[in-house]
Amino acid sequence: MGRKMTKILVSACLLGVNCRYDGGNSRSEKLNKHQQSGDLIPVCPEESGGLPTPRPAVEIVGGDGNDVLDGKARVMTADGQDKTQEILKGAQHALELALSQGATSVIFKARSPSCGCGEVYDGSFSGTLISGDGVTTALLKRHGIDVVSI
């Protein structure tokens, strides 16, 4: 009998997909080597939520991803455009993808307003980090899915 492959949801930008806000990627050679096994499932919650690539950078204003899920914070661009609904839609898509594929763990891009795990930018667009999770990470954790970021 062969071993059962554990599916892992991964930020698509870490697998070399040009889906970051600036049109680039955050390719991880270690993950790309592992991708050959077929157990990595790429996802970009921001694109899944309907945001284009490239796009204006967004940050969580007023808290972290849990606060966005609870309606206490918003995801905004530096010039004041509210992108909260797109980020929530992308988070929901990532959750549905993880559940449908049986993924019980996730590797996401650090500090992202969607994917960040443990720290995110503070909403001032000054590069200042605060403790907390991105919106997608917060939603996945609420459903018992382990998330780490690199």
Q: What is the pLDDT of residues 10-50, one digit of tens each?
A: 999 999 999 999 999 999 988 877 766 668 999 999 999 99
Statement: the pTM of the whole predicted model exceeds 0.85: yes
Neighbours of 128 (CB within 10 A): 10
Is residue 119 exposed (0-12), middle (13-18) or buried (19+ Cβ within 10 Å)?
middle
Structure tokens at 125: 């667009």
pLDDT tens figures, 64-98: 999 999 999 999 999 999 999 999 999 999 999 99
Return the number of other C-beta atoms located less than 10 Å from residue 14's C-beta: 24
Angle at 130 between CA 84 and CA 77, to 5 degrees: 30
Phi, psi of 56 (to 5 degrees): -65, 140
* Cross-strand partners of 106: 9, 147
**37, 111 in Cβ contact below 8 A?**
no
